[in-house]
Every structure is written in C-alpha cells, then in structure tokens.
C-alpha cells in the first residue's frame, strides 16, 4: 500500500523535474511561451503528488479507528468527548 503510493509520488515528481529541466534547457530555444507553459504544468504537479502520496487507501488504518485495547480506546473516546466517563 505504501510502496504503490511512494512509486506514484516519485513518478509524478520525476515528471515535474523532467518538464522543468527540459523546458529551460531545450524547449526555450524554439519557443519561450511553450517553455513557460511547461513550467506552469510542472508547478501544478507537486500538490497533486502530495495528495496522491497522502491519500488513505481502503486497507489503511485511520487515526481514529479503535486500536483493540479497550482501556486505551475508552481513554481516547473520553478525551475526544465521544463518551462520558461513568463515575
């Protein structure tokens, strides 16, 4: 699960670097507006890569899922205000 997301992130960020470097090393020689456009596309990729790398998969455990320890779960529920502690 984590490896798939890590590979997707690295692929997107590698594409970002390739776009940026090729825009200003090769493409600018023929067309500066196209190079600027490539940089704008490269500018959008890092936030998308961060979303892809941090999204929760169906098999991932979420932060508020029960841990399985009843005492710990009761304590966290009390702190979150989900359950009132019986006195």
Please give the chain's pLDDT, 87 residues, in tens.
Answer: 678 888 999 999 999 999 999 999 999 999 999 999 999 999 999 999 999 888 877 666 566 666 778 887 788 778 777 765 555
Two structure tokens written together for 3: 């490896």
Q: How far apart are CA 66 and CA 83, in angstroms?
A: 14
- Cα(82)–Cα(80) distance, rounded to whole angstroms? 6
So what's the pLDDT on residue 67? 72
* DSSP code at position 59: T
Q: What is the pLDDT, as a whole number, of residue 48? A: 95
* Residue appearing with tokens 């508020």: 64
What Å distances lie between residue 51 and 60, 68, 77, CA to CA? 15, 29, 29
């Amino acid at each position: 699960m984590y490896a798939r997301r890590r590979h997707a992130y690295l692929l997107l960020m590698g594409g970002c670097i390739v776009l940026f470097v090729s825009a200003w090393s090769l493409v600018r020689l023929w067309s500066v507006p196209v190079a600027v456009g490539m940089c704008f596309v490269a500018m959008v990729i890092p936030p998308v890569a961060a979303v892809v790398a941090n999204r929760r998969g169906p098999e991932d455990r979420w932060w508020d899922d029960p841990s399985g320890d009843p005492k710990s779960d009761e304590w966290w529920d009390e702190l979150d205000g989900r359950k009132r502690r019986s006195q």
